[in-house]
Amino acid sequence: YDSQSGMIPRPVHMPDKVAPGGSDAEAEELRAEMYRAVRELLPEEGPTGVLLSGGIDSSAVAAMAAPQAQQLIAFTAGTEGSDDLGYARSVADLFGLEHHEYVFDAGEARRVLPEVIYHLESFDYPLVRSAISNFMASRVASDHVAVVLCGEGADELFAGYDELKAITDDGELADHLKAL
């Protein structure tokens, strides 16, 4: 979603099912669609930001954006010594990205919590927890870039939540994913 123009990019067509053991053709279709989706979100001019935690979701977005963006700048926020800071630093180094880190403490997290919950519109602990870091990193990014990519939404698309991993019936899993 582009907040300045109000435009929503063309929807991403996800293959019906890409599961472990899926075909090479299904995996290639998914890869091509993800690259296309990232490409369509890149600005025509200027740098692009990526919220980078060092996890697989944001790292995959960075890997897809790096060769396509005019300039890709990574933004990470976390507490002193957090895994996110170290992993994100490694991924940024791997792709040769300019990388901005913001270190916050528990007191600052508590101070922004009401604003984070307001914008998130949720009290769900895991979502709030990750949204605090995204909120902090986004504030830093807003001083440098007009467009920021992130890996949010991958857990919903690929059943990454713990409660979904336990579902073994494909039909039941599909119903749960549609409800998210």
Residue range 131-143, pLDDT digits in tens? 999 999 999 999 9
* CA–CA separation, 107 and 170 (whole Å): 43
**Buried b vs exposed e over 23-35: b needs ≥16 C-beta within 10 Å?**
eeeeeebbeeebe
* pTM of the complete model: 0.79
Predicted confidence (pLDDT) per residue in 145-171, tens digit: 999 999 887 766 666 666 666 777 767
Q: What is the pLDDT of residue 151?
A: 86
Q: Which amino acid is at 80?
A: E
Q: How far is it, in rounded angstroms, from Cα 99 to Cα 13?
A: 31
Q: What radius of gyration, in Å, describes the C-alpha atoms of the chain? A: 17
Band of residue 29 on the pLDDT scale cut at 50, 70, 90: confident
